[in-house]
Amino acid sequence: MADIITVDVQGMTCDHCERTVTEALEKAGLEVADVDWRRGQATGTPSASFSEEAAAAALAERGYTLAGVHTETGTSSVAVTDDEDTDYDLVVIGSGSAAFAAAIKARDLGASVALVEKGTIGGTCVNIGCVPSKALLRPAELYWHAGHHPFPGLHIETNGADLASLVAQKDELVEMLRKAKYEDLLDVYDIELIRGEGRFTGPDTVEVDGRTLRAGKYLIATGASPWVPPIPGLEETGYLTSTSALELTEVPGSLIVVGANAIGLELGQLFCHLGSQVTWVEALPRIAPFEEPEISGVLSGYLRDQGASVLAGAVVTAAGRDGDEVWLDVEVDGEPLRVTAEKLLMATGRRANTQGLGLEAAGVETDHRGHVVTDATLQTSNPRIYAAGDVTTNPQFVYTAALAGNIAAENALRDAGREISFETMPRVTFTSPQIASVGLTEDQAVEAGHTVMTSTLPLEAVPRALANRETTGLIKLVADEATGRLLGAHILAEGAGEVIQAAVMAIKYRATVDEIADTYHPYLTMAEGLKLAAQGFRKDIENLSCCAA
């Protein structure tokens, strides 16, 4: 087998650097298999013309420094198993974000890959999750603000919302992105798609509709589906899920939403904005229960101002139907209450799609909910099998799924030992205003042993919010009192999902709140709110002039 060269490269800082370094090393005679800017390494197979001097010169031309070259004689970029009696280097069950990220990474490493899919290619995000929901949330938000804007002298008439037309354009977008970002990539990367239901028949075999596959390594990436708790009468009553709610073509006159975390809040407000009378029913003591309590409180008040009802700490005891209306019996603070509406949406979480996968036969451990348990390298209890995405116990976000798929593939095929970390993982709830958070909450920081200090800035103190007449919200920063290091950022504001990335980078690079306060933030942007909140640790924001340092 050919030698494998590992080149240590200094100066890479981003994905673009990976492409530039690839071009430089290929010019120097290296057939590049992989470049990783985070590790500062490139690997590949050398041609006869390759030399360390040529690589150093080619890299220097592009502003990088060669820090070392290592040769592994007689090895391969893919090291999966000693058993040559395999059909593929990697078989992935599933075809969503985690699956495709893994497959593309595996092909970049020179591995043979097959995806096994029994349903629609593309997984949750593009088909029934992020893309379709946001494609409807935005027009609903525009419709609401057209009829409820805060600007005197601006007269706008609204003549109703054609939900069927909105759903049609949503479906067109989904179809386009599914083709461009999933289906077409099969040919681009030479990934084989095997149609059918895959299940493990042993620790190293998968059967797909009667066909047995053997691979060096496997990846489980089957995602998750809506889950509802057992409520007396619920099945007979009928209900919507996050999937079927996005297919409605008529706006319901009234809607009960059970669950007020991200999905329930987003979809409930979607229909609220289109004219439904919405009632949220949340079993935990507050809506947005995993955010800071200040955010939950302000958002709850805002939803009520929009005409909705919010019942927190409400336990559902029974469901039923009375003619065209559904009803729920709930207990709030021990008091019984019946809630009625035209439609019922259950947004009570998602559970892993592991039923029928044969995980017992494969020796793969799951938790009490059926989610696959992995270590930080995404390896399961069977060392030959990895898992990534919503099917695991990790946070259910498309960007974590994609990163996990990439890491899992490299670890499976090269034993790279990369670990996934969620320390700087942001989360965004696309309500209006948006919720965005990263890092530790105040309670989590205390539990972690920090001596904590916080700064909470109301949006009334942010000039951009004043100019927009959108002052519902706040920015809360959590920091370590001894070092000043930022530990967490929590935002309720229009554009919070964009602003949070600055806080992600601050936490990643261990910035202090004083460093944030001393950094340029452009005036009349929501991002300036981070600076103001950071200044709030040391100064009274009310007594600062505009742009005051």
476 Cβ partners below 8 Å, 6+ apart? 292, 294, 295, 442, 454, 455, 456, 457, 489, 490, 491, 533
Residue 345 and residue 257 in contact, taking contact as beta carbons nearer than 8 Å: yes
Calculate helix-pair angle for 97-108, 398-414, nearest 10 degrees.
30
Q: Which of 1, 176, 505, 547 is catalytic?
A: 547
Does residue 14 have an active-site annotation? yes
Other C-beta atoms lying within 10 Å of the C-beta of residue 6: 15
Residue 276 and residue 160 in contact, taking contact as beta carbons nearer than 8 Å: no
Does residue 272 have an active-site annotation? no
Residue 371 corresponds to which amino acid?
Answer: H
Q: Which of 1, 88, 130, 399 is catalytic?
A: 130
519 Cβ partners below 8 Å, 6+ apart? 531
In whole angstroms, how large is the CA radius of gyration of the chain?
26
Which residue's structure tokens are 């992995």?
Answer: 374
Q: Which helix (H) or strand (E) holds 447?
A: helix 442-447
Residue 547 corresponds to which amino acid?
Answer: C
437 Cβ partners below 8 Å, 6+ apart? 291, 292, 426, 427, 488, 489, 490, 491, 500
Residue 281 and residue 344 in contact, taking contact as beta carbons nearer than 8 Å: no
Q: Which of 88, 125, 239, 386 is catalytic?
A: 125
CA atoms of 366 and 363, how far apart (whole Å):
10
Q: How far apart are the first and last CA of the chain?
A: 62
CA-based angle 41:47:50, to the nearest 5? 65
Residue count of the chain, please give it: 549
Q: Which of 14, 176, 505, 523 is catalytic?
A: 14
Q: Of 200, 23, 24, 240, which Cα lies nearest the Cα of 116?
A: 200
Q: Which of 12, 272, 346, 526 is catalytic?
A: 12
| DSSP secondary structure of 200-254 | EEETTEEEETTEEE-EEEEEE---EEE-----TTHHHH--B-TTGGGG--S--SE
Does residue 12 have an active-site annotation? yes
Using CA atoms of 348, 354, 356, 359 in order, give the dihedral in degrees to the nearest 10: -150
Phi and psi at 312, nearest 5°, equal -105, 155
Q: Of 541, 447, 546, which Cα lies nearest the Cα of 488?
A: 447
Residue 259 and residue 240 in contact, taking contact as beta carbons nearer than 8 Å: no
What per-residue string of b and e applies to 221-258 under the rule 16 or more CB within 10 Å gives b?
Answer: bbbbbbebeebeebeebebbbbeebbebeebbebbbbb
| DSSP secondary structure of 252-287 | -SEEEEE--SHHHHHHHHHHHHHT-EEEEEESSSSS
Residues with catalytic function: 12, 14, 17, 64, 125, 130, 546-547
